[in-house]
A and B are shown apart, each in its own frame.
Chain A
């Protein structure tokens, strides 16, 4: 299995909602990432879990909260988001040999 899967594919939420994005990989990779991508822009790193240790991009607001239940799963909990948080959210895992990142298909998030 050489895939990174993400659910849901699309999500529409209000500013008072709480929702979660999910990411899964079964390649035995020990680092997983969350990125935010606006249209026609490169991905911006939000969080990294590497060997279960979390690294945070300090510019990411606290309304985004990552969770790594195990080395194959990565969640992103969303709460009290703003319309400017609407974007494509990409999950990736990092290969163990050459450091390349394998990306999931993304979740298209719209905040109303």
Chain B
């Protein structure tokens, strides 16, 4: 079974600074997807960034980027120039290729301080 581990229950960062959220996963699959989702206090889950396991290049979306280390089964999220609106719960998620079951980590609560 696939498991996703987020070892940082809570983190904080000063506005405009950079923060990295960690995620590790365990799988024997070679084809899969990894995701970071953001859930602000308003509660809607929003996709932040997506990575296909077959791609070596790390995904980036504006201020958000990932460090995908397939051999180490690590998928960290870097947020640059943190903004107050980045305050949220962040979930790392794993999905096997062509599968319906998305596995979530326990989440990291990020607070951006002014």
Contact = CB atoms under 8 A, between A and B. Distances in A.
Interface of A: 31, 33, 40-43, 45, 48, 50, 55, 88, 90, 92, 94, 98-106, 108
Contact of A103 (B46, B52, B98, B105): B46
A40 B46 CA distance: 16
B35 to A, nearest CB: 6
Contact of A99 (B46, B89, B95, B106): B95
Interface of B: 33, 35, 37, 43-47, 50, 52, 89, 91, 95, 97-98, 100-102, 104-107, 109
A42 B33 contact: no
A103 B35 CA distance: 13
B47 A42 contact: no
B106 A41 contact: yes
Contacts of A108: 43
A28 B8 CA distance: 37
Contact of A105 (B37, B43, B109): B43
Given A48-B100, A50-B100, A101-B102, A42 B107 contact: yes
A90 B101 CA distance: 15
B52 A42 contact: no
Nearest to A57: B101
| Consensus secondary structure, chain B interface | strand
A102 B44 CA distance: 10
Nearest to B33: A99
A55 to B, nearest CB: 6
9 contacts: A33-B100, A48-B100, A55-B100, A92-B45, A98-B50, A99-B98, A100-B33, A106-B43, A108-B43
Contacts of B101: 45, 48
Given A103-B45, A103-B46, A43 B100 contact: no
Nearest to B105: A42
A102 B47 contact: yes
B50 A43 contact: no
